[in-house]
Structure 1
Amino acid sequence: MFTRHPLVTIVIAQLFGTSLWFSVNGVGLALQEAVGLSEGDLGLLTIAVQAGFITGTLVIATTGLADRVRASHVFAAAAVTGAVINAAFILTVEDISAGVLLRFLTGLCLAGIYPLGMKLVVSWTPSHAGAALGWLVGMLTLGTASPHLLRGVTLTLPWQWPLLLASGLALVAAAMIFRLGVGPHLPPTAKGGRPWAGLLAFQQRRFRAAALGYFGHCWELYAFWTLTPFLVARELTRLGASAGSVSWLSFAVIAVGMPGCVLAGRASRRYGSAHVAFVALAISGVLCVFYPLIGSAPPLFLLALLLLWGFSVIADSAQFSALASAAAPRDRLGSALAMMNAIGFALTIPAIALVTSLWANQGLGVIWWLLPGPVLGLVAMRGLLRPAGRT
């Protein structure tokens, strides 16, 4: 069953595995009430996950682990370990230092899930990487949003339930990928190689352009996802609506990126990944500019804009990965993607720190701190809009 439908297996496992990513954010409001966590504390916990992911991807990239060990084995081991660590957070919730450490370790495990998921997709469906990776990143988006959904459906239950459910989903993901294995469309795993081999891909002009566009996208993306509950809560307060709706609407704003990724993947087969990524990044950049300027607009209108933003802010991600995959050396594909992920996610840390620390004082004005990402990303992408040539 698994090998008959490998892409379906991988994207569902990606959904389940990445539910660990924002599991604490999904119960953030409940934690603020239960143990007195502040917006800054939640930002610190989010940054810890990002830092762990960056560290993990650097280890994978510099050691060549992604190219020396079967990707399915790394994915499965990371998902099982991440599930255990995520559940252990419940025991340390009142100790912010211990919580930060556990979230860091969770991010470390996620480094064995997301980049290796990309490699698995390429190993099974190399001829339609843009569309296939669209599904993969769509499921990453849905996985990121799922803690808000899990909180919504367990609103009458203790806050620990969504974390335990996320851990259970990660265990299922591990079993699925372990059974699936690696596809037939990659060269044999590398037996040696130099440290930092993933950096060699940056010698390729088109890989470099895709990576720089991806870096601009990363600066905006996770900071926006971190802000989403705050932005939604602001508009619900203006509407006089129940705070219980924050989880559902936050889920909707992030999860709408899933169809955005899928539709962008389909469009890439007609218009090319570079053009699709450029349009998506331009839309989210325009929203960065204008959203704070129209903060007094009707709340329902602003909620609709948040849905549009959620749709576009992630739609370009898979296309950057597809462009990078096509340009990277085939025998170092896993290391190259892991290195690109590591650098991109490093940029999410200052962006998240800025918006969470300044939200209380600047309100919607913090959104302008996201603007450099789309602007610099669009500038870097100009080379991708030209036909492939010499590198």
Structure 2
Amino acid sequence: MEKSNSQLILSIIVFAQFCCTSLWFASNAALEDLLQAYKLPENILGDLTSAVQFGFIVGTLLFAFLTISDRFSPSRVFFISAVLGAIFNLTLVWDGNTISSLLIFRALVGFFLAGIYPVGMKIAADYFEAGLGRSLSFLVGALVLGTAFPHFLKTFMEEISWKYIVYTPSILALFGGILMVMFVPDGPYRKRSTQWDSRAFIRIFRNKKLRVAAFGYFGHMWELYTFWAFVPVILKTYVILNPEAHLTISLWSFNIIAVGTIGCIAGGFISEKFGVKRTAYASLLFSGMCCLLVPFLFSASVPFFLAFLLFWGMVVISDSPLFSTLIAMNVASEVKGAALTIVNCIGFAITILSLQLLNYVANNFILETLKGASSMLSIYLYMLLALGPILGLLALRKKNKPTKFEVR
């Protein structure tokens, strides 16, 4: 494939991924409006986010077990998932919503995101063997920007109906799905599975190298989505503890999440010099340190605190495409889609445990702080996120020698 054509294909895949993953945090960005519109309890944040993650887990489990993206055209799977995800996202504006209906609809959005995020990585892996780490870095960067985008919309749509925060991601998802199915045919390195293989699910995890990469990824996932979900809460807590600070919460939430795009791209280039495994290890180490240091930064100046959160936002995601690269490079081509999907499935199951743990502690401590109480336990809450990076780092060091995972 010619270089110019490959760059065009990668650009389309990345843009389509951005468009479709904007569905992910649509309910988070519109949370305050949803609370008022449907008279929801204040502690619904963790549940709404967990519902998307739960749907994603069920979707990835089914997609992986049936090896959907290996048996059928990944671009068509992506398109169908984008259309259905966009439709179920629109149900947020239904006037008859209750807590139960909202959770069900968000779970369905998560289910069809399983046909978008890991399938997008599968499509990229089918096009790029050399430079796969850099390609996936751009792709996950698009996921980051898409995830942050609803917060950006919230910042500039304060004066109009909150429903446009819902409409826009759905329109983008439809557009992204159309782009993928029209302009990205099956890649040259794709090896199609001709039939369903019930043993593929088990064979994937017999691969020792893949397991090591997966364990590092699982530690990373314990931290990632919970950090993203709680970024607005971290900022609100800082403002409460520092009354002189004036921050636009939605804008800075967008900045802190979206800056991860730069982290992903930078990580991809750095990994070409220092190796994928070493770069992922360093990223996981830095993000774990941020989890442990954040309680001591709530008394820092506004510029320093924001700079710290921006750095955290970069390193918390920069290892994600690198772990995916290690997985894609160490699995047979005919089950590559299933491998990426099942590892995503387990990783997102871990995010639910993390989200619910912090949500439980937050409901007992953080909400008191936000109401003006003096409980300082809330600022130590985020140290719990360090558990994932610590265990991930231990797994990476214990399971294999560093040289065995060098992919350049």
What code does the residue aligned with 1:199 have? I
SS of 1:315's partner is coil
Give CA-to-partner distance per residue, 1:312-369, whole Å, 9 cap, x none. 0000000000000000111100011111000010000010111122114142222122
Partner residue in 1 for 2:385: 370
SS of 2:197's partner is coil
Where in structure 2 are the equivalents of 1:278-297 lying within 5 Å?
Answer: 278-297=281-300
Which one of 133, 136, 140 corresponds to residue 139 of structure 2? 136
> Aligned-pair distance for 1:70?
0.5
1:52 aligns with 2:84: no
CA contact (8 A) 2:223 2:388 kept: yes
Could you tell me how far apart the structure 2 residues matched to 1:37 and 1:129 are? 44
Could you tell me how far apart the structure 2 residues matched to 1:306 and 1:35 are? 32
SS of 1:296's partner is coil
Could you tell me how far apart the structure 1 residues matched to 2:379 and 2:27 are? 23
Partner residue in 2 for 1:63: 66
Greater Cα shift, 134-143 or 186-195: 186-195
Give CA-to-partner distance per residue, 1:158-206, whole Å, 9 cap, x none. 1111110010000000111001233433343101242251332221221
- Unmatched 5+ stretches in structure 2: 366-376
Q: Judging changes above 3 Å, is the alpha-carbon distance between structure 1 residues 351 and 387 closer, same or farther for their aligned structure 2 residues?
A: same
SS of 2:158's partner is coil
Partner residue in 1 for 2:218: 215
Provide the TM-score with structure 1 as the length reference. Answer: 0.95
Greater Cα shift, 85-94 or 225-234: 85-94
What code does the residue aligned with 1:387 have? T
Could you tell me how far apart the structure 2 residues matched to 1:276 and 1:167 are? 35
Q: Judging changes above 3 Å, is the alpha-carbon distance between structure 1 residues 92 and 352 closer, same or farther for their aligned structure 2 residues?
A: farther
Which one of 171, 174, 181 corresponds to residue 174 of structure 2? 171
Where in structure 2 are the equivalents of 1:3-42 lying within 5 Å?
Answer: 5-42=8-45
Give CA-to-partner distance per residue, 1:105-163, whole Å, 9 cap, x none. 00001000001000111111221110000000001000110010011121111111111
Where in structure 2 are the equivalents of 1:213-292 lying within 5 Å?
Answer: 213-237=216-240, 238-240=242-244, 245-292=248-295
Partner residue in 2 for 1:91: 94
1:329 aligns with 2:345: no
> Aligned-pair distance for 1:93?
7.0
Could you tell me how far apart the structure 2 residues matched to 1:184 and 1:169 are? 24
Partner residue in 2 for 1:305: 308
> Aligned-pair distance for 1:211?
0.3
SS of 2:143's partner is helix
CA contact (8 A) 2:75 2:186 kept: no
Q: Judging changes above 3 Å, is the alpha-carbon distance between structure 1 residues 31 and 131 closer, same or farther for their aligned structure 2 residues?
A: same
Partner residue in 1 for 2:404: 388
Q: Judging changes above 3 Å, is the alpha-carbon distance between structure 1 residues 198 and 59 closer, same or farther for their aligned structure 2 residues?
A: same
1:185 aligns with 2:204: no
Greater Cα shift, 70-79 or 151-160: 151-160
Give CA-to-partner distance per residue, 1:254-301, whole Å, 9 cap, x none. 000000000000111111110110111000101111212343333432
Where in structure 2 are the equivalents of 1:73-152 lying within 5 Å?
Answer: 73-91=76-94, 94-152=97-155
Could you tell me how far apart the structure 2 residues matched to 1:196 and 1:149 are? 44
What code does the residue aligned with 2:119 have? L
> Aligned-pair distance for 1:370?
1.0
Could you tell me how far apart the structure 2 residues matched to 1:67 and 1:153 are? 41
What code does the residue aligned with 1:127 have? A
Could you tell me how far apart the structure 2 residues matched to 1:187 and 1:18 are? 24
Could you tell me how far apart the structure 1 residues matched to 2:196 and 2:323 are? 26
Could you tell me how far apart the structure 2 residues matched to 1:63 and 1:47 are? 24
CA contact (8 A) 1:2 1:176 kept: no
SS of 2:185's partner is coil
Provide the TM-score with structure 2 as the length reference. Answer: 0.91
1:318 aligns with 2:333: no
Identity of aligned residues (%): 37
SS of 1:371's partner is helix
Cα RMSD (Å): 1.8
- Figure out how many residues of one structure are paired with residues of the other and give that number: 388
Give CA-to-partner distance per residue, 1:10-50, whole Å, 9 cap, x none. 00000000000011101123333444434421211110000
Give CA-to-partner distance per residue, 1:222-255, whole Å, 9 cap, x none. 0100110101122234244557x11100000000
What code does the residue aligned with 1:40 have? N
